Structure 1
Amino acid sequence: MRERLARVTLMRLAEPGDPVMGRLTASCGPEAAVEQVRRGALDAGFVHWFGSARHRGAAGSGDGDGAGAGDRLARILAAWAARLETADPAEDLAAGERTGARLVVPGDAEWPTQLDDLGDVRPHALWLHGEANLRFACIRSVAVVGSRAATPYGAHVAAEFGAGLSERGYGVVSGGAYGVDGAAHRGALAGGAPTVAVLACGTDVTYPSAHHDLFAAVRGQGVLVSECPMGVRPTRPRFLVRNRLIAALARGTVVVEAAVRSGALNTAGHATALRRVLAAVPGPVTSDTSAGCHRLIRQGAATCVTTPAEMTELVGVIGDELAPEPRGPVLPRDRLDPETRRVLEAVPARAGAGPATIAVAAGTDLETVLSCLGGLAAAGYVERTSRGWRLRPERPEGG
């Protein structure tokens, strides 16, 4: 219980995805990390790491020398200490329970172990609100992301992907925002698999407010996820930081519609960094809202997909979930044997021709032509006139 209280405290002290707090927690554990903040002094080994990391750029941009790194770390520690004064982990746990949410931490049965791939930016804990088990929902899952200002095309495709993936037993992970996110969640709700909405605010905060009913439906068939404490409002940095969770939870990410400057491309970057499958859906070449997808495909960063089946082929077990190759309609003419098709191609459309003339044009013998013409006439492809054989004006394939 003490570790859980410590992790709830860390959620108040540092912003989500803070790599410095992440490294401190990894080096000494959550309880010791809180204690060091409380006493206002960090272990010498961690201070040395921070100074070295600053030189390598591993702890963020800023000062290049040891003294500058020390000043920077002192400011970070002071900010944590200020937040610690108002932190009340017991009340946070009680507030979560009052709303119906539950806390999961690393080591719990419901914790998705793929989040460990995030290293120093792994969340300290997660608040979950919904009927679905997060770990099970994400074992076979795809993240569907894209523009908030989705076009009708983008919203339609996102809903189709959400429904198609869900029908194939894949959980659909997205961010609960307007546009592509919302359409993907709604599509997933039409299928049988759970959908996971990763929020940039507390699970008790409905943002956007117009998605109140959508989030209620997600709680019933899936789960809301947040690394923010109860009552925390979303900010632009929190939206960008939560994108790493979307990419990490799923086996692969598909970008349905995204402009060149889009938060969805931020998620795509996280997917690439985590070595997850990345795909993108092409759109009209004249559409600015698909320019980001086209760039990902052109650069070779993402695989072009056009159907949910193609996406499941990418993320599924090799050989088990192959997408069917797209084919045009099969016409009656396609079922003819090669010799008969050759004769049919040699028959004129208007003026009639004799069997000998058709034989020369088809490159075959007269006996074969006579045999084929009889079958073609019976099938309605050709007709005999006073001037010879010609194609019937209306053939079964409508050609």
Structure 2
Amino acid sequence: MNQGEDRAARAALCGIAEPGDTFLNRIIDQVGAPGALNVVRTGRLPADLPAGEGEMRRLEHWRIRLRASAPEEDLAICDELGVRLVCPGDPEWPTTLDDLEAARPYALWLRGPADLRNRCLRSVALVGSRAASAYGLRVAAEMAAELAERGWTVVSGGALGIDAAAHRGALAVDGMTIAVFANGVDVPYPGGNEGLFAEMARRNLLISESPPGTPPHRLRFLVRNRVIAALSRGTVIVEAERRSGALNTAAWARKLGRSLMVVPGQVDSRSSAGCLRLLREEPDATLVTCCDEVIEVVGRIGTDLAPRPSAPVLPRDRLDQVTRAVLESFPARGAAGPAQLAAKAGIDLLTVNGKLGLLSAGGFIERTADGWRLTRAAKTRDY
């Protein structure tokens, strides 16, 4: 197959069909992209490719749109904007997208200097609500920054809220981040993130299934979520309401066999209701609270293990077993003599007398007229 012909055909198909159409992908699989474009032009399907009434209507819709399409102009605009078209089989094409099977992209439009396939080898998706809380924004930014510092690419959707916080967190440490758009890579949507997208196009990567100039479309925001999930080794839902689009990304992660991770939130927080539901109802969802725990899930088995959380080391933890036994024999209130302490601890009097000096020097006990007693500090739980 001629590579230029295939590229031109896929550019045209991106402009006339909705992303990831299973019927169109079946046609491409059977006759190739140029053949699929010819099927759209003529309206004649291969004899052994069955189609229902709805599919024939879609075919007619594509044929009408093809008349007004200008894929050559789209490719020319790409040259002006520094946008490139990456197709299946290209060195930069991430093979993980093929896991989408009949829902895979026909091609991807990329803007930015980074190599998509290389950057997706170690990548994590961080997604969540647009109407995020201060807690969610902080967690997203901090987690993204720590992941990026450790060489992981942060993938998200470029939306307001959690997505933007994740992108900014990665950029803050000069790390790698990728935004998957539901519109053309030259269309800054939402407008409030225009500066963010300009910085990402300069240093990182913006990608879309739609040609340059394509405006945002409501349904395409859900459709693009499958690409976010497919590009990543795992997806972290940082914060999500019960009807958040991030839950759609979680569904795609599960369907594709990717790791699904969830950040917990307050039980009475509307912003975390979706996250808490995932943790309650999805047996494959893993609760994560920090970068180390995320890497443990998506990293190399037996190597990228998160350190086990440990309790703070208190002064009494540094005492040897015998000295600690003498200390534990002290009454909570009042004083005690060496003989009383020896009897309660089950330790000989000579040893107890030696340990009393050590405990006094350490600030655990003090001498009184009636014997020895615990200091005020030693009575607290943090001493």
Question: Are the equivalent residues in 2 in contact too, given 1:351–1:390 (CA < 8 A)?
Answer: yes
Map 1:196-345 → 2, pairs under 5 A: 196-299=178-281, 300-345=283-328
Matched, 1:21 2:27: no
Q: In the alignment, which residue of structure 2 is the partner of 1:346?
A: 329
Question: Are the equivalent residues in 1 in contact too, given 2:279–2:285 (CA < 8 A)?
Answer: yes
Structure 1 unaligned regions, length at least 5:
51-68
- Which deviations, in whole Å up to 9, do the C-alpha atoms of 1:190-211 show, x marking residues without a partner? 2243100000000010000010
Q: In the alignment, which residue of structure 2 is the partner of 1:56?
A: none
TM-score by length of 1: 0.92
Question: Are the equivalent residues in 2 in contact too, given 1:260–1:291 (CA < 8 A)?
Answer: yes
Q: In the alignment, which residue of structure 1 is the partner of 2:58?
A: 76
Letter matched to residue 67 of structure 2:
E
User: What is the DSSP-based 3-state SS (H/G/I as helix, E as strand, rest coil) of the residue aligned with 1:285?
Assistant: coil
Letter matched to residue 14 of structure 1:
A
User: What is the DSSP-based 3-state SS (H/G/I as helix, E as strand, rest coil) of the residue aligned with 1:311?
Assistant: helix
- Which deviations, in whole Å up to 9, do the C-alpha atoms of 1:42-85 show, x marking residues without a partner? 111112xx4xxxxxxxxxxxxxxxxxx2x223211110100111
- In 2: Cα distance, 1:158 partner to 1:133 partner: 24
- Which deviations, in whole Å up to 9, do the C-alpha atoms of 1:202-238 show, x marking residues without a partner? 0010000010110112122210000001111112210
User: What is the DSSP-based 3-state SS (H/G/I as helix, E as strand, rest coil) of the residue aligned with 1:29?
Assistant: helix
Question: Are the equivalent residues in 1 in contact too, given 2:222–2:248 (CA < 8 A)?
Answer: yes
Map 1:1-399 → 2, pairs under 5 A: 1-47=4-50, 50=51, 69=52, 71-299=53-281, 300-395=283-378, 399=383
What is the aligned-residue identity percentage? Answer: 54
Question: Are the equivalent residues in 2 in contact too, given 1:147–1:257 (CA < 8 A)?
Answer: yes
- In 2: Cα distance, 1:74 partner to 1:379 partner: 85
Deviation at 1:119, TM superposition (A): 0.5
Letter matched to residue 177 of structure 1:
A
Question: Are the equivalent residues in 1 in contact too, given 2:20–2:106 (CA < 8 A)?
Answer: no
Q: In the alignment, which residue of structure 2 is the partner of 1:62?
A: none
Letter matched to residue 45 of structure 1:
D
- In 2: Cα distance, 1:26 partner to 1:364 partner: 82
Question: Are the equivalent residues in 2 in contact too, given 1:111–1:135 (CA < 8 A)?
Answer: yes
- Which deviations, in whole Å up to 9, do the C-alpha atoms of 1:81-105 show, x marking residues without a partner? 0011112111110012211211111
Q: In the alignment, which residue of structure 2 is the partner of 1:63?
A: none
- In 1: Cα distance, 2:346 partner to 2:169 partner: 56
Question: Are the equivalent residues in 2 in contact too, given 1:172–1:184 (CA < 8 A)?
Answer: yes
- In 2: Cα distance, 1:164 partner to 1:138 partner: 17
Question: Are the equivalent residues in 1 in contact too, given 2:111–2:207 (CA < 8 A)?
Answer: yes
Question: Are the equivalent residues in 1 in contact too, given 2:156–2:166 (CA < 8 A)?
Answer: yes
- In 2: Cα distance, 1:125 partner to 1:398 partner: 60
User: What is the DSSP-based 3-state SS (H/G/I as helix, E as strand, rest coil) of the residue aligned with 1:46?
Assistant: coil
Letter matched to residue 342 of structure 1:
A
Deviation at 1:288, TM superposition (A): 1.5
User: What is the DSSP-based 3-state SS (H/G/I as helix, E as strand, rest coil) of the residue aligned with 1:353?
Assistant: coil
Deviation at 1:127, TM superposition (A): 0.7
Letter matched to residue 258 of structure 2:
R
Structure 2 unaligned regions, length at least 5:
none
- Which deviations, in whole Å up to 9, do the C-alpha atoms of 1:103-159 show, x marking residues without a partner? 111111111111011101111111111121111111100000000100000000000
Letter matched to residue 105 of structure 1:
C
How large is the RMSD of aligned CA atoms in angstroms?
Answer: 1.4
Letter matched to residue 38 of structure 2:
E
Question: Are the equivalent residues in 2 in contact too, given 1:280–1:293 (CA < 8 A)?
Answer: yes
Deviation at 1:40, TM superposition (A): 1.4
**Which runs of structure 1 show a deviation greater than 3 angstroms over 4 or more consecutive aligned residues?**
394-399
Q: In the alignment, which residue of structure 2 is the partner of 1:65?
A: none
User: What is the DSSP-based 3-state SS (H/G/I as helix, E as strand, rest coil) of the residue aligned with 1:334?
Assistant: helix
Question: Are the equivalent residues in 2 in contact too, given 1:129–1:203 (CA < 8 A)?
Answer: yes
Question: Are the equivalent residues in 2 in contact too, given 1:348–1:389 (CA < 8 A)?
Answer: no
User: What is the DSSP-based 3-state SS (H/G/I as helix, E as strand, rest coil) of the residue aligned with 1:139?
Assistant: coil
- In 2: Cα distance, 1:304 partner to 1:324 partner: 15
- In 2: Cα distance, 1:240 partner to 1:147 partner: 13
Deviates more, 1:165-174 or 1:184-193: 184-193
| Matched pairs, number | 378
- Which deviations, in whole Å up to 9, do the C-alpha atoms of 1:328-363 show, x marking residues without a partner? 221111111122112112123442101111122223
- In 1: Cα distance, 2:257 partner to 2:174 partner: 28
- Which deviations, in whole Å up to 9, do the C-alpha atoms of 1:349-385 show, x marking residues without a partner? 4421011111222233323322211211122211121
Question: Are the equivalent residues in 2 in contact too, given 1:132–1:221 (CA < 8 A)?
Answer: yes
Deviation at 1:242, TM superposition (A): 0.1
